[in-house]
Amino acid sequence: MLQSAAFSGLAAGLANATNHTFGARSALVPDFTQPPPTNLSIYTNASLWEQWRPKAHFIHPSNSVGDPTAFWMDDNGTIHLSALYSFIRGIENSTYFTQSIAGSTTQDLLHFKDHNTYKNPVSIGAGNEVDFLADFDGSVIPHGYNGLPTLIWTAVKGLPISWSIDYHDGYESQALAYSEDNGDTWIKPEEGANIPVITAPPYIGNVVTGFRDPWVVQGKQFDDLLSPNGTWNYTEAPWYISVSGGIHGDGPRLFFYRQSELNNFTSWDYLGPILQEKVNSTFVQPGSGWAGSDESDGSNYETSQLTTLGHEGDDEDGLGLITMGAESGRKDHSYHWSLYRVGHWARSEHNESVILNTTFEGVVDWGLGYACTGVQNKTDLRRYTLCVIGEDQIEDLKYQTEYSGALTLPRELFIKDIENVVDSSLVRMRASWAVKTGHLKTAVPTENNGRIGAKSDGTVDLTTLGIRPAKELAAFRAQAEKSFVVNQTEVVFAPSRNNSGDEITVKDGEHQIYRALEQSPDSRHFELETTISFPNASLRSEDYGSFSAGISIFRSVKGVEPGSDRFEDVSVVYRPANESIMIQRNTAITNSTVNRAPEVGKLRLWERRVNGTTQLDDLKMRVFLDGSTLEVYVNEVLAISTRAYYWFPDSTRVGYVYNTPEGFSKNDADAKVTFKETSWWQGLVDAYPERPKDKWELIRQLMGYPEPANNPNNDTIIYQGVGDAPAFPVLP
């Protein structure tokens, strides 16, 4: 869970919420023409609502967006997307702390319609015996319990829960609910309200690090591997569940279950772990960074999805894919990595489970994007995936914005082949790619495998996980309010090639050339695309140091000097010396208020040999800025999501940046960077056209749900937002 590491401090935060009822703040409002104060919490409630709120992303009407969850497509082709929901403050008829589930439906992944209208899009909430504190992530079987849409989710009856503290068996269980209104609301039968369908972890004695986020899946390869004769011959396929967690001191796990009998969704048999790893380790070559860090798999898995993937999307004969959140193996970002593993499903030699024989591991989102989950488009089998983008504020500003978090734009995951790569030691390592040995067949490209996959011309074909914006997002361009295309075929930068209009600065040992586009967007809601060519000699060369180039997404008006309290610049650059994509966030708001540290991802530009000629890959970048949400996609293999908290309304210039270390002595040929095909499209789309435009209607809506009559703590956990927050219930 996105917030699981912080549960231990929840009670104190709830008590403080009593100081933030509506109308309790001062009347101060921000003046965006003046430099920001060091303390933005002086401003009145909702005064920053419009400043950074995304327009085209999935977001609750107000309050807090958590993990994406309960995605599914119904028989009519409607996609249901939900996310955990919790209150910023206690309001009428609400549990004082709830992570419930609230969501929307969509026909096109562009426009969303709230379940039960914006006034109350919650579809299921806590309050019964198994979940009287919170509801966590779950997933949906379209035709399950009594033939109806069925949600299996994590019911929480005890807190705190974290990988960093001792676990209490019974705090988390997996429960069931069904829907009679196509997912607008979920009904808990006796098996869901008071009797879990999976009651406890497979290892008892408080030894696990977590036990949550069930993912339901069917798979022909699973069936064939687990059937007695090697081929599944029943008329119906069973359902499987993976539950995320880990074992203290041993490492993260995905616990794998199968229905005890067909069409029975209340009884599940544990088969064994489908994925297990040693604590704070990684599959990739140590020190390489291709899965984030040497400790990226951490201590606990959560929010996993499993599927079998091909070149266009889900493919029953494809490669096994697991995406998962991993906790404890990162030094920042709340200790979270958003990872994936790809390989081949196999029968375990130690138990009755399927396991994933990993051939490569990588990062789904290198930035804030976490808890990524997905849904299959039943029409063309594309695998959509969305992640949550939390806020990146050091000073808590949720009362000034009256909302927190959003989901990323929809992405497509697919198996991507990289053909005709020059075979070398750069290929032969455990990393975020594997050697292609046949159609949807791969092998780990280590020296232990000899020169497996090598072709007679000295090249090799690689396979990796493809990540790209969903093709539906092409509507951003077709429906743009305005757009701009750079009319030059190439824009070239080199040490001795400057234009008269270039802005040149030397700061902190770095020489920068900034060249503004002829036109820039006048809003913070746009898509940008560019292609960049780098010199081959610059790759993995210490001599090039901080040499980098890229695009500035927004920058202060000309004349504002870097380093001044009015200067803002957020840029996306590639540094070939260490093969890193960086989002540099230099905004006017101070480091004590928001996180301005750069986001960093790792990207290799491959040398390829085609018709006897060796060429270096270009870097093709797509950028989406929507309020403070910033998403970057590169070469269909890398995604980074983050926040960019701009301040001044006129910091909107877009341009090229070219950076060299002070004293850089490379000649033009060895330091030439070329930009091509640069364009932007302003406007995006209004994701919620049916919601009111008056922010107070969204903020003051009584979003909540009735407390069930059989809630054993009903009298003690109702919180109206005034007085002391009640204590946690006393658990048996």
**Residue that terminates a domain, selected from 400, 416, 432:** 416
Identify whether 614 is part of a domain. yes
Report the CATH number at residue 568: 2.60.120.560
CATH of the domain at 263: 2.115.10.20
Whether residues 409 and 492 fall in one domain: no
Is residue 7 domain-resident?
Answer: no
Residues 505 and 646 both lie in one domain = yes
| 530 inside domain | yes
CA gap 290, 431 in Å, rounded: 6
Mean pLDDT of the chain: 89
What pLDDT was estimated at residue 490? 96
Same domain, 289 and 377: yes
Q: How far is the C-alpha of 49 from the C-alpha of 402, rounded, in Å?
A: 7
Token pair in block for residue 676:
């091509």
pLDDT at 701: 65
Q: CA dist 80 to 121, 123, 374, Å?
A: 12, 11, 11
Residue 303 domain-assigned (yes or no): yes
Residue 438 lies in a domain: no
Indicate whether 71 and 208 sit together in one domain: yes
Q: Is residue 698 part of a domain?
A: no
Give yes or no for residue 682 having a pLDDT over 60. yes
**Does residue 639 lie within any of the structural domains?**
yes
pLDDT digits (tens, 9 = 90+) for 480-519: 999 999 999 999 999 988 888 999 999 888 999 999 999 9
Q: Tell me how many domains the chain contains.
A: 2
pTM of the model: 0.93
Residues 6+ apart with CB under 8 A from 469: 409, 410, 411, 412, 622, 624, 633
State pLDDT tens for residues 265-321.
999 999 999 999 999 999 999 999 999 999 999 999 999 999 999 999 999 999 999
Among residues 416, 436, 468, which one ends one of the domains?
A: 416
**Does the pLDDT of residue 729 top 70, yes or no?**
no
Looking at the structure, tell me whether residues 523 and 632 fall in a common domain: yes
In a domain, 42, yes or no: no
Provide the pLDDT confidence category of residue 448 given band limits of 50, 70 and 90: low
Q: Mapping DSSP to helix (H, G, I), strand (E, B) and coil, where does residue 585 land?
A: strand
Strands (E) across 310-367 are located at: 319-327, 336-347, 354-365
The DSSP bridge pattern shows strands 208-217 and 411-422 to be unpaired
Residues 167, 94 share a domain: yes
Looking up tokens 């010199």 gives 535
Say if residue 392 is in the same domain as residue 497.
no
Q: What is the pLDDT of residue 712?
A: 39
Domain encompassing residue 611: 480-682
Sequence-distant (≥ 6) Cβ neighbours of residue 403 within 8 angstroms: 49, 53, 59, 60, 62, 63, 64, 65, 88
Phi, psi of 533 (to 5 degrees): -110, 135
Q: What tokens does 448 get?
A: 């232990």
Evaluate whether 519 touches 503 at the Cβ level (below 8 Å).
Answer: no
Q: In this predicted model, what pLDDT tens digit does every residue of 148-171 receive, in sequence order?
A: 999 999 999 887 889 999 999 999
pLDDT band per the 50, 70, 90 thresholds, residue 25:
very low
Over pLDDT 90: what percentage of the chain?
78
Query: Do both 484 and 619 map to the same domain?
Result: yes
Q: How far is CA 259 from CA 47, 236, 256, in A?
A: 51, 12, 11
Q: Are residues 356 and 499 in the same domain?
A: no
Among 638, 665, 682, residue at a domain's last position: 682
State whether 342 and 234 are in the same domain: yes
Provide the token pair at 652. 């909107």
Together in a domain, 229 and 335: yes
Same domain, 274 and 388: yes
Q: In the predicted model, is pLDDT for residue 202 greater than 60?
A: yes
pLDDT number for residue 724: 42
Task: Tell which phi-psi region holds residue 324, choosing left (phi > 0), alpha (psi between -120 and 50) or beta.
Answer: beta
Q: What is the largest CA-CA distance in the chain?
A: 77
What are the pLDDT digits (tens) for 339-356? Answer: 999 999 999 999 889 999
